[in-house]
Structure 1
Amino acid sequence: MTIEEIAQEILITAQNQQISDIHLLPTKHHYQLYFRYLDSLQLQQSYSLEEGEKIILYFKYLGEMNVGEKRKPQSGAAKITLLKRAFDLRFSVLSNFRAQESLVIRLLKQQQLFQLEKQVFLPQQLIKIKELLTKSKGLIIFSGPVDSGKTTTMYELLKPFAQTEKMQVITIEDPVEIEAVDFFQAQVNEKSGVTYASLLKASLRHHPDIIIVGEIRDEETAKMTIRIALTGHLVLTTVHAQNAIGVIARLIDLGVSEEQLKQTINGIIYQRLLPETCCYCIENCTKSCQQLSGKMKRKVLFELLAGDDLKEFFLQKTRPKHFPTFQYYLRKVYAYGYLSEKNYQKYAQL
């Protein structure tokens, strides 16, 4: 097979298995290909150093990166079609101390909307989150690791507002991960000077009812998002943090005052996608199992900081005494038999 054929086979196989990330990592004597599945890397193939370097070179060319540069980190993007299937790819290249390049490919088009009610471990958590949307203004913040379903959750929660109540929902993302006909979707383009902050300012002239901000990642975006929430808009966004309380510390680090947070935050939701125990395979369920196909193998578990717990946190400056943490809910779903012992031990240590 040619290098191009090997590269295309990697992409097609990953899409068939509904993989979100591809890793091509060097060792001293060869390259190893991994697929990320259910929060773990699974070895797929090994290549010689020469083959691995050529595969990375192919993807660097595809992503319009500098193919001659091997020491500096690079990133790129590409949209291609293979076997009449669309691929929206993001590339990241990073070299080790031996000047060997590694490659991570994210397949964005894998993300699809699903019926949220069927994808949560504890339905009562979803009921509480939906109650936050009854307010016409304020800030609802989602947090969690990469590929934890944050964007999908926001889209699913707001879909009824656009479809049934005919509200205008504007999303500002980098990049747009899910194409949704019910929303007006704008995409950040840093190279062209189109930033989160500039799009947020422009979106206000469209008189939106609800705004989704893909991610608060810098001070300018943080302050602009808070300003919009203070002016009477409902804003949903994401912030990288280890738990719901950590979101507040992160926003303060980005220059937002505690008083502004008190006035704007309706609720903070931390979430993770966890592997559901398959009643047919128990501990040994694999991605080839037909009983829990594709994304149905994972369900969402939340941690919610809102209402009296949120007020108590701002008052006491520490975690509320009776606040149900993510670890509390993790023990709960394990006790119900929704999570295997192996996966419970894995996520309990995080």
Structure 2
Amino acid sequence: MASVELRNVTKRFGAFTAVEGVDLSIRDRELVVFVGPSGCGKSTLLRMIAGLESITSGELLISGRPANQVAAADRGIAMVFQSYALYPHMTVRENMGFALRMLGTDRAEIERRVRAAAATLQLEGLLDRRPKELSGGQRQRVAIGRAITREPDVFLFDEPLSNLDAGLRAQMRVEIARLHRQLDTTMIYVTHDQVEAMTLAERIVVLNGGRIEQQGAPLELYERPANRFVAGFLGQPRMNFVPLDGTGGQVASWLELLAPPKRSATLGVRPDGFEIYAAPVAGTVPAEVVLVEQLGNVSLVHLRIDGLPDLLTVELRDKSDLRPGDSVQLRPQPRRSHVFDSSGARIDWS
């Protein structure tokens, strides 16, 4: 088992800085998820930990020992990639044991590790099949099994579910969470999918432009985002943003309701943080229903308010009788609302 520590780590490709000044400590046996949009530096950061990319400046420590100059094969790390990278002419058994054969491991030990990994991943009945005979989820489990057989101190996952359909992604999320509990080892997982991050992570690290925007437990980041970027990135459907500049208009009543600082600010409300009324009450503004999405256990109502550039999305916890063209009254719940200043930083006003 191992801890991983990054001290002021920077990675430059020529004049381009992909990762800048990252400080991060990952505890032994922790499952940490790096999340952010494409190009934010999350995969580059993972590859530096793996030893597949050099570190321009800063220090990497694994279990407290400097690792910048340690070869990738000697870091005690196994990595699962987005592509399965299975050898098509080899069986599942041969694919899972290939790295061990290259290391000269005894045949009996290879067979023991392959069978143990197959049992963990429910692949026992597939060991003699070739990759073309497997489903996408089975192939990804084989790729994970190949990493398990190496018995690493740290597992790295680089967007391993991106090639799977929605149903298989949900299934594999459960598999990986179960695997972490069963193996009880350190895991670092990279994804651009905030649903994967929220459901898998013990701790989320949100990256943007090569820097850490915020890190913490999933619900901590969801309920108390440090800034507008984190607030808008985490959560599905995404947070609604409403300008509150004190200049009047339809949302002027929300200023007194929320009492934000009397300066340029933006209100952030998640779709389940609004109240809808049929008639005006204190603090509401009129809105027109544009679209209703019936999703079974919830309904998403898209509303237009005069003077606002974007539609607002409201989540209702049951089937809605609203129809496009209906008029309603809308107001945010103060305890479910966030205010961001002109720089994007969250204002702790409550």
What TM-score, normalized to structure 1? 0.30
Which structure's residues are more often helix, by fraction? 1
Work out which structure has the larger RCO, using CA pairs closer than 8 Å and 6 or more positions apart in sequence: 2
Which of structures 1 and 2 has the bigger CA Rg?
A: 2
Which has a greater percent of strand?
A: 2
